[in-house]
A and B are shown apart, each in its own frame.
Chain A
Amino acid sequence: MEFITSNLPYLLAGISVGGQYALIAIGYTMVYGILRLINFAHGDIFMVAGFLMVYLSATLPIYVSLPLVILITVLLGFVVERVAYKPLRTAPRMSIMISAIGVSYLLQNCAFYFTSGLAKQYPVIPGISSSVAIAGATTKLVTLVTPVLTIVLVVVLVLLIKYTKIGMAMRAVSRDFETSQLMGIKINSVISTTFIIGSLLAAVASILYFSNYSTVTPTSGAMPGLKAFVAAVFGGIGSIPGAVVGAFIIGICENIIKGLGLTTFSDAFTFALLIIILVAKPTGLFGEKFTDKV
């Protein structure tokens, strides 16, 4: 019992962070599934959403700024795809990835310019920022909200992909880019939708994540972004339930390692896990086995 009470905070934090990673990871996994692109800018879109909330909530009431943050983030994701990735559709995969790195560099530098590089205090959002006590462990309410919200959003997303027309189009495009184009699927609108969904979830994740950590800096998107990507690979890239399971596992493991007093290694662990997975089972936990198209 003592073991549980002493470790419960870490476990709770792990589940909460895992949920937030999951929401980011979906953005990675969907984009990778369709474009075969590691969207390095995704973590920075998540960071920008954090700053938007800081600035918008300074002047607007919370019930206006929340939807506005989500809307602007979605718009940003859409614009990034149109400006930086669409012109490179026929280019080699390396160029488009370099373009993604360039966007990430640009977003970080813009954030640095607008904030003068200072960490900003994230606003208190009523309902999720207050503290609660569970079995003797004090935590923020966001810890409990995150897993529930994550699972609801994922279920909605899976239903969307399974039963709607656009979902079917997405599945087709991720199967075979060229053939689906020949079948009359408007590839650009499918890709845009993917980025819109990804950015939407990233915005939600940023609201949850920064409510928990309470400060935003221009580089605070990089690490969660990379970890979410690792989660996506761990679960099997292209698979949404895989990304969610992977994210929860990584979030929990990371916090248990922090609990053991090895904080320096919480990031290193994630990458070690990534390399083991890539070498041992490159398709991940739930990944489909597909042959390499050369």
Chain B
Amino acid sequence: MSTKKKLIYTIAALAALFIILTLCEQLLPASSMLFIVLKKGAIYALVAVSMNLVNGFTGLFSLGQAGFMLIGAYTYAIFTIPLKEHAAVYQYFDGGIIQFTVPILVALVMAGLAAAIFAFLIGLPVLRLKSDYLAIATLGFAEIIRAFFQWDAFGPVTNASNLLRKFPTFDTVYFPFIVSGICIAVIVLLINSSYGRAFKAIRDDEIAAEAMGINLAKHKQMSFTISSFFAGIGGALLAMYQTTVQAGAFKSSMTYELLLIVVIGGLGSVSGSVLASFLFIAASEWWLRFLDTDTYIGAFKVPLLGSGFRMVVFSVIIMIVVLFYRQGIMGDKEFSFGAFGDIRRFFRKRFGRKEVTK
């Protein structure tokens, strides 16, 4: 397929997405579950893709994503809470010490940069470690970051273990879609660049990659830092979505959830991660909701259903995917418009032959 055709298809797909989103905005009531899925799904898609960049494309098993999201969320919140709200938000810390605000977009970039700087510093010692040691060390760092943000001594900046709130948020679905879309596009461009190829080479065989002249430390550091940059932006978006931030929410279980999304989508597939994020959020927040409520058919109470059963079913599904469909939805392949052509050819072949046999 030619690049020109591809471009046209991409623009058409984006336009279609825009129209669908607009239709949803106009037609559906604001309380519809679809909006939760779309907003949260878009945010999770960004974070999952950023995690995939490290885990799936560079082959570094990092479990620090929740920590970097926390940094992003806090950076965004701290620098955007309107000055007149400071007295109410920082009620135990005399209105806090950061007495200025920055525009939302600047704050988003700052959120990413803050996470990236932390990641760079953390990466210096940690990235030398091998697979599972790296996993546990990054997990540990996320916990340390969480402890620091809850420390009373940083209260004037981070509000200690109290909520940060009243910062600007979004209410349309466009905002998370546009921000995540741009970020994911940048990640895709990076993956397709020579750096991206170096990442993949490191994933497939470190020794061979080094022999080919790839600077391992530099590229690992780069992948880790860039991934954290986007995780930071994702954290900021999540803060906007939730309208409040508290360090206690960014536990390691959040990282695990993201990792499971990445695995379901397929390690090493951006479109897989995006798809899996929406599926994961839709399944956990919406489609499986009915499992959580007691249901009666006449006088008969459907057994098992009740609070929490949704997550049990959900984790069983995840275990089945992990055990039997290890490749996930997409494996390491990407969605492409060419695939449609393949499907068409496939059907034509099938049904074409039938016609002949008639």
Contact A98 B139 (CB under 8 A): no
A11 to chain B, nearest CB (A): 23
B77 to chain A, nearest CB (A): 20
Please give, as numbers and ranges, the residues of chain B lying within 8 Å of A275 by CB-CB distance.
125-126, 137, 140-141
Which one of B36-44, B82-90, B309-317 is at the A interface?
A: B309-317
Please give, as numbers and ranges, the residues of chain A lying within 8 Å of B316 by CB-CB distance.
106
Complex CA gap A103/B316 in Å reads 9
B162 within 8 A of A: no
Please give, as numbers and ranges, the residues of chain B lying within 8 Å of A109 by CB-CB distance.
308, 311-312, 314-315
Dominant secondary structure at the B interface = helix
Which one of B23-31, B233-241, B256-264, B337-345 is at the A interface?
A: B256-264
Complex CA gap A272/B148 in Å reads 12
Complex CA gap A18/B55 in Å reads 34
Which one of A56-64, A111-119, A158-166 is at the B interface?
A: A111-119
Query: How many chain-A residues does the 8 Å CB contact rule pick out?
Result: 48
Dominant secondary structure at the A interface = helix
| Contact status of A38 and B132, CB under 8 A, knowing A265-B147, A275-B125 | yes
B326 to chain A, nearest CB (A): 6
Contact A112 B137 (CB under 8 A): no
Please give, as numbers and ranges, the residues of chain A lying within 8 Å of B143 by CB-CB distance.
226, 267-268, 271
A238 to chain B, nearest CB (A): 13
Please give, as numbers and ranges, the residues of chain A lying within 8 Å of B315 by CB-CB distance.
102, 105-106, 109-110
Complex CA gap A274/B137 in Å reads 7
Of B61, B141, B308, B318, the residue contacting A112 (CB under 8 A) is B308
A93 within 8 A of B: yes
Q: Which residue of A lies closest to B63 (CB)?
A: A101
Contact A93 B131 (CB under 8 A): yes
A 24-83 contacts with B by CB, 8 A: 36-38, 83
| Contact status of A274 and B136, CB under 8 A, knowing A95-B322, A102-B318, A279-B128 | yes
Q: Which residue of B lies closest to A292 (CB)?
A: B130
Q: Which residue of A lies closest to B61 (CB)?
A: A94
B10 within 8 A of A: no
A183 within 8 A of B: no
Contact A294 B207 (CB under 8 A): yes
Taking A113-B307, A282-B129, A282-B133 as given, write out 4 further A-B residue pairs in contact, using a Cβ cutoff of 8 Å, ordered by the A residue number: A103-B319, A110-B315, A113-B312, A267-B147
Q: List 11 A-B contacts (CB under 8 A).
A: A104-B256, A105-B256, A108-B253, A229-B136, A264-B150, A265-B147, A267-B143, A268-B143, A268-B144, A268-B147, A282-B133
